Amino acid sequence: MNRVSRSAKIAGAVAVGAVVAAGAGFWLIRDPQPKSSPAVSSAAISPASRPDPAPNTSVAPAKSVALALIPFPDAEQACSGDGAWCVSLTGPDDEGVARPILRPGPNPDSSSAPVEPTDGGETFTVWPKLVVLGEGVFIAGVETRLSTGYSGGGGSATELRLFRVVAGQTPSGPILTLPVKGDLLIRACFSEADMEKRGEACHDEYGFTGKLEIEVADGAMPALAYSTNAWAFPRGASRDEDSTVRGALTAADLVRETDRKCSFSRRFLFDVRTGVYTPDRPLPDCSNYTTP
């Protein structure tokens, strides 16, 4: 791989394109941080991870490689397709936070047993993407899913927590936490009259999805683009209102209705002072979709 000057490296990174889409896999992102860029806040990095490895000054094309689960006896790892890196999870701490551990792999000796659900019903899986920032420095994630049951219904919600990870070390707290999935089914019929009034649509349904994209930025930490879509069925359904007092539904009501307030886009930038990502604008309250 040819060696180039730092300024040529930055120009090459910009020329490749502004966005690397968050597909099924992980992003390889060159780290064009100049020497004068500020260090990442200690709030986002465990003491053992400082100082960071020197940035890679070689130029490599950005690429996406699949991250797939590789099972071992009584253990598992999520690994890149070429086997260069694998991610496993720690058990949740006292605050219910599981953390990613990244090592060269696959290696059954360094894999971890599947994390058991918490007493509160939370389950943990490896985010199926990995952001490569430089030699030995990454952004890895954990998806935390909470499920609950209702009388005649139920719901679940998934939250993504991103961590800045140095290979072989346990990261400190998350640098970003976002809802990425919500599904709710709430019973709305309690009699034959209710069934007739609602046209046999006997559940209120709510859905939420969040999508994350990675932007190739000039700094050490890429900008993140977050977009969401939220909907309710039937039209006019709301968890803030009693569905049994609604009037009769018509055929025109039996459709999914987009919630414009909770269907939005935001851009997140890493704040070196706080050690976390912050949005360009405040996020709306969408807990009716993201809290079971």
Greater confidence (117 vs 231) lies with 231
Q: What is the mean pLDDT of residues 257-284?
A: 96
Average pLDDT, integer, range 20-27: 42
- Cα–Cα distance for residue pair 203/63, rounded to 1 Å: 44
Q: In this predicted model, which residue has the larger pLDDT, 81 or 10?
A: 81
pLDDT tens for each residue of 144-165: 999 988 888 899 999 999 999 9
Q: Give the helix, strand, coil percentages of the chain, each rounded to 5.
A: 10, 40, 45
Rounded distance between C-alpha atoms, residue 178 and residue 229, angstroms: 13
pLDDT recorded at residue 85? 85
Whole-angstrom Cα distance, residue 101 to residue 90? 7
Q: How confident is the model at residue 143 (pLDDT cuts 50, 70, 90)?
A: very high
**Can you give the pLDDT at residue 71?**
57
pLDDT in tens, 32-54: 443 333 333 333 334 344 444 44
Cα-only R_g, the chain: 22
Q: What CA–CA distance (Å, rounded) separates 284 from 292?
A: 17
Q: Taking residues 246-274, what's their average pLDDT?
A: 94
Instruction: Tell me which of 236 and 96 has the higher pLDDT.
Output: 236
CA 35 to chain centre: 30
> pTM to 2 decimals?
0.73
What pLDDT was estimated at residue 265? 97
What is the distance between the alpha carbons of residues 163 and 142, in angstroms, rounded to a whole number? 8
pLDDT per residue as tens digits for the range 161-216: 999 999 889 899 999 999 999 999 999 899 999 999 999 999 999 999 999 988 76
Asked if residue 17 has pLDDT above 60, the reply is no
pLDDT at 269: 93
Average pLDDT of the chain, as a whole number? 76
Per residue in 59-95, pLDDT tens? 332 333 345 666 555 556 788 878 888 888 888 888 8
